[in-house]
Amino acid sequence: MTNPNLHIDKVNTGAQPLTGADFIADQVKTLPDRPGVYRMIGDAGDILYVGKAKSLKKRVASYVRLGGQTNRIVHMISLTRSMEFVVTETETESLLLEANLIKQLKPKFNVLFRDDKSFANILIATDHAAPQIVKHRGAQNRTGHYFGPFASAGAVNRTINTLQKAFLLRTCSDSVYESRTRPCLLHQIKRCAAPCVELVSKDEYGALADEALQFLDGKNSDIQSLLSTEMEAAARDLDFEKAASLRDRIRALTFVQESQDINPGTVTNADVFAIHCDGGQACVQTFFFRAGQNWGNHSFFPKHDRENTSAEILEAFLAQFYDTHEAPPLILLSEPVAEAALLAEALTIRTGRKTDVVAPQRGEKRDLIDHARLNAREALGRRLSESATQKKLLQQVADKLDMETPPNRIEVYDNSHISGSNAVGAMIVADEEGFRKNQYRKFNIKSDDLAPGDDFGMMREVLIRRFSRLVKEESPGAETWPTMVVIDGGLGQMNAAREAMEEAGLDVGPDVETGQIMLISIAKGRREDAQGNKRSDRTMAATGEQFFAVGKPAFTLPARDPVLYYLQRLRDEAHRFAIGSHRARRKKQISSNPLDDIEGVGGKRKRALLLHFGSAKAVARAKADDLAAVGGISAALARRIYDHFHSDN
């Protein structure tokens, strides 16, 4: 990581009349001949570009000479109004800092890695006397050994299930483990050694955990040989039950190794990256190999300029990818990158072990690259086809709504609740690439002034919270700034949404080129009989949805219109996400315990209270002296618990 004592040289040029290349030339005079990171900033304070340099003075000076620069770089230089510099001790530190800043700031002219994928890992947790094997996502804060990444949750689950059969490790939580008095079902089906009830000694269970660690580290043949030897010994001693158990474990290990699509013989732990470019877009295909097994693949589509070469895109992608992912000992690339040695050095420092970054030209490693490149080409082809269809649909939406240009970001809002309880607002996002699920948001309705079931008030709260923050943090035209907003509801919902958006400082209307946001609402079709009379009978045919748009009278769309299907799909996706969020919140409330709200009562004390009194209601009725009799509950805490249930407040 970067040195926390770095010298930061920030150039404040608010009154600087020079711009573009002239401004940069003026800054070069004071720059040191040392490694560092520079930021080029536009007129509105927006970050245009983040770059690193072995020598800040020489690298920034190269921008003064416009001859030989690409059109993209010339345009970037012309927009530059100020710069900021960070001096680092080494070029390696500058590489790590550059990758971190690019991911944070998302500069307009950098290659951007859209990290919308949270990879799962296998964790063998060692913070308990009986190690536990679980699926893990997110920050690796828990003590233990992490293995991954796996490209899909299904691959993790299948592998954990098989490892349970092979090594009999527990998957239960610590609280369940502590409360067991007899073996659970997993022991009965031979997936757990049942250390909770001491059917296996701590040393024997620890040996099982060590074998699992060795297997996941790639020592497959050693483990199988050991188990085979133990099985033969058990058979000689006529201990056929133990021999059969060992046989089943060996079969499970064999399944883990043979159930993968590609299991290379010479590659144990490696990440494989292959890039394919076409139509101004790029796909980076990644395969993960761990313990000699293929743990899946994933396609990434980094944002870049058309003038970037495939090697430049791949190099920028790698630095940002490994800013948040653990690097294996070997990284295989489809083509050489200019700073492979520097990247390898940075990853070696970060991981604490040697990491190689190579572009193989022959042999099995090259075969892996060719396979990854084929997948990259196929994935990009599918994406381009889907993108063309989405672009056509968005153009048709613009035509139907009399918009000058197609919407480039659509946000759809919906609410879900039961008589006002556990109310949740939901936002989904769609653009020419389809649904952007990593940008979905949910809003827990917080206002206490709303009447139960006040859908207008709920929508107003959601939109004011969303757009007030947007106006504060982003400028119009930013990637997260919508050009079209869709509301599930009728004219009343649309008017409430319009008032909320205008109150937040937005201009609502069809002229998106001037910064307006198109607002429409979708009212569900009415049910009527053949004479057009309204009916409540669900067997009656439903008329088409009615649409309300700013600046237009209410209208409907033909039954087979693709735009109708598209808008319905947007509405239904928002409805699905809203209901799912509401159910999750309701489930959490149902499973909550009154003891959770008491300061000083954690998991162990709550468990002790429930075991002593039998239920939370019994705890609420107990006297302070009775509470203090529970192990771990002091007199002061007992009084606090008593007051919590008996105070007027």
Domain layout of the chain by residue ranges? 7-105, 120-258, 270-381, 410-586, 594-646
Percent of the chain at pLDDT > 70 equals: 87
- Strands 330-333 and 356-358, sheet pairing: parallel
Higher pLDDT, 58 or 230: 58
> Is the CB of residue 160 less than 8 Å from the CB of residue 122?
yes
Closest C-alpha to 550, from 330, 380, 403, 379: 403
Question: Which CATH number fits the domain 7-105, given the four candidates 3.30.1450.10, 3.40.1440.10, 3.40.190.10, 2.70.98.60?
Answer: 3.40.1440.10
Kindly state the helix (H) or strand (E) to which residue 501 belongs, with its residue range.
helix 491-503
> Is the CB of residue 398 less than 8 Å from the CB of residue 406?
yes
User: What backbone torsions phi and psi does residue 124 show, to the nearest 5 degrees?
Assistant: -100, 100
**In sequence order, what E strands does 419-466 have?**
421-431, 434-435, 441-444
Higher pLDDT, 216 or 330: 330
| Domain 270-381 and domain 410-586 have a common topology | yes
> Which of the four pLDDT bands, split at 50, 70 and 90, describes residue 252?
low
Amino acid residing at 556: T
Higher pLDDT, 641 or 585: 641
pLDDT at 170: 92
Residue 41 CA neighbour count, 13 Å, CB half: 17
> Which of the four pLDDT bands, split at 50, 70 and 90, describes residue 384?
confident
Does the pLDDT at position 383 exceed 50? Answer: yes
Residue whose tokens read 């804060």: 141
d(CA 353, CA 356): 10
Amino acid residing at 342: L
CATH superfamily for 270-381 is UvrC, RNAse H endonuclease domain (3.30.420.340)
- DSSP per position, 28-41: HTT--SS-EEEEEE
Does the pLDDT at position 453 exceed 80? Answer: no
Does the pLDDT at position 458 exceed 70? Answer: yes
Residue 388 CA neighbour count, 13 Å, CB half: 7
Sheet holding 7-10, edge to edge: 7-10, 82-87, 36-41, 47-53
Of the listed ranges 59-63, 250-254, 611-615, 637-641, the least confidently predicted one is: 250-254
Does the pLDDT at position 162 exceed 70? Answer: yes
3-state secondary structure 361-396: CCHHHHHHHHHHHHHHHHHHHHHHHHHHHHHHHHHH
Does the pLDDT at position 329 exceed 60? Answer: yes
Residues 443-457 have a mean pLDDT of 76
- In sequence order, the 6+-apart residues with CB closer than 8 A to the CB of 396 are 562, 563, 566
> Which of the four pLDDT bands, split at 50, 70 and 90, describes residue 14?
very low
Residues 121-139 have a mean pLDDT of 88
pLDDT at 412: 94
> Which of the four pLDDT bands, split at 50, 70 and 90, describes residue 332?
very high
CATH superfamily for 594-646 is 5' to 3' exonuclease, C-terminal subdomain (1.10.150.20)
Was domain 410-586 assigned CATH 3.30.420.340? Answer: yes
Does the pLDDT at position 5 exceed 50? Answer: no
Higher pLDDT, 537 or 606: 606
